[in-house]
């Protein structure tokens, strides 16, 4: 672990903005909230924030991207196709541990399993600079999901210590970033202080699961046929899909072939999709396998706590609380749903 003065860390970010060919993005204040956005100045970077509206997932899995274009010249028999997905990575500054855990899950899916080249190239060309949480959102329950702190998945992890930062180096590229600024080795007291900050943070969470997250798969499997519960809970759901959009681990997408008016050119686009949307499970001839909102509502929670675990070994909820914060109907809260299910089973 290294120690860097706040002024030197600011100088490092300024240097990256000015000289690195990649876009540097970071957490910034935006009205009454926080967002990840392009940094024009290191002074715009927010360190004491609770929760951003969207996660940094949008930089490795964009909301919409063109995968390829096609064109047929006049008189030609065949189309010429060209891969168009942007491989450019970014330097992403200020990522909380739960969002790092979410990106680590996406890596398993897109790189290890799907071998998705557009995702892999953006991800491998990106740098993740994490930030230890010191301000907890009211809706966040990351501590009970074991994602309030993290030991891997970052290039650098930064912890505020008054006028200095403690920096844990996670990768060789992260180590290289620090070469242009003065640092020193952390003392044992400073290392202990970082550990204390992470330990004390757990007391700041006002909500959480009433049981270990490892119990979620069996709990949900046992609750699958309890349609009275799912129908009652989904009664107010608007099927707007906001919970899917703001979730850092949701990875469902649709692919559209868009044909231009000339008939000889077009593009293939990938865009975010979500299981709460009414047409998500619609297939050929209009058959919809989850036509009822309660079925879609159930599927979302089953996917988070059971299906993804069965396939990839991860609970696909990192406890960020974004879905709860943005659900206008007040029915998206995983903490509330899972706790009520367990209470009903143990009644």
Question: Tens of pLDDT along 27-37?
Answer: 999 999 999 99
Q: What digits encode the pLDDT tens for the residues 62-108? A: 999 999 998 888 777 787 888 888 899 999 999 999 999 999 999 99
Pairing of strands 64-71, 80-83: antiparallel
Mean of pLDDT values over 192-202 = 94
Task: Answer yes or no: are the C-beta atoms of 309 and 297 closer than 8 Å.
Answer: no
Banded pLDDT at 38 (limits 50, 70, 90): very high
Distance in angstroms between the alpha carbons of the first and the last residue of the chain: 48
Averaged pLDDT, 170-178: 96
CA-CA-CA-CA torsion sign (158, 160, 165, 166): negative
Residue 341, sorted as left (phi over 0), alpha (psi -120 to 50) or beta, turns out to be: alpha
Residue 249: exposure state from Cβ atoms within 10 A (0-12, 13-18, ≥19): buried
With a CB cutoff of 8 Å and minimum separation 6, the contacts of 335 are 141, 144, 207, 208, 209, 319, 324
Residue 346: predicted pLDDT: 79
- pLDDT for 30 equals 94
Q: Taking CA 44 as the corner, what is the angle to CA 24 and CA 173, rounded to the nearest 5 degrees?
A: 30
Q: Report whether pLDDT(145) > 80.
A: yes
Full-model pTM: 0.93
Instruction: List the structure tokens of 294.
Output: 């309660």
Band of pLDDT at residue 193, cut at 50, 70 and 90: very high
pLDDT digits (tens, 9 = 90+) for 267-291: 999 999 999 999 998 988 889 989 9
pLDDT of residue 315: 97
253's CB contacts (< 8 A; 6+ apart) are 61, 270, 271, 272, 273
């Amino acid at each position: 672990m290294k120690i860097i003065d706040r002024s030197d860390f600011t100088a490092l970010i300024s240097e990256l903005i000015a000289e690195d060919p990649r876009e540097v993005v970071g957490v910034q204040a935006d009205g009454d909230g926080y967002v990840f956005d392009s940094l024009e100045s290191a002074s715009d970077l927010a360190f004491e924030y609770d929760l951003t509206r969207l996660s940094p997932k949008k930089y490795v899995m964009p909301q919409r991207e063109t995968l390829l274009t096609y064109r047929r010249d006049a008189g030609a028999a065949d189309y010429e196709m060209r891969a168009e997905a942007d491989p450019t990575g970014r330097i992403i500054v200020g990522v909380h541990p739960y969002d790092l855990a979410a990106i680590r899950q996406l890596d398993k899916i897109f790189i290890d399993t799907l071998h998705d080249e557009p995702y892999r190239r953006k991800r491998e060309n990106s740098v993740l600079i994490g930030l230890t949480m010191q301000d907890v959102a009211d809706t966040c329950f990351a501590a009970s999901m074991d994602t309030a702190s993290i030991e891997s998945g970052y290039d650098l992890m930064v912890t505020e210590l008054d006028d200095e930062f403690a920096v844990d180096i996670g990768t060789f590229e992260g180590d290289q970033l620090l070469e242009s600024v003065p640092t020193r080795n952390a003392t044992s007291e400073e290392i202990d202080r970082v550990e204390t900050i992470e330990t004390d943070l757990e007391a700041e969470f006002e909500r959480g699961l009433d049981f270990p997250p490892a119990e979620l798969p069996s709990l949900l499997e046992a609750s699958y046929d309890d349609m009275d519960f799912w129908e009652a809970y989904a009664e107010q759901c608007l099927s707007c899909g906001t919970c899917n959009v703001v979730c850092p681990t949701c990875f469902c997408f649709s692919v559209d072939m868009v044909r231009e008016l000339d008939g000889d050119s077009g593009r293939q686009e990938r865009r975010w999709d979500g299981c709460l949307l009414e047409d998500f499970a619609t297939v050929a001839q209009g058959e919809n396998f989850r036509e009822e909102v309660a079925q879609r509502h159930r599927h979302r929670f089953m996917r988070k706590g059971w299906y993804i675990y069965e396939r990839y070994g991860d609970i696909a909820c990192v406890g960020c609380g974004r879905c709860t914060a943005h659900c206008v109907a007040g029915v998206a809260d995983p903490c509330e749903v899972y706790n009520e299910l367990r209470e009903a089973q143990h009644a």
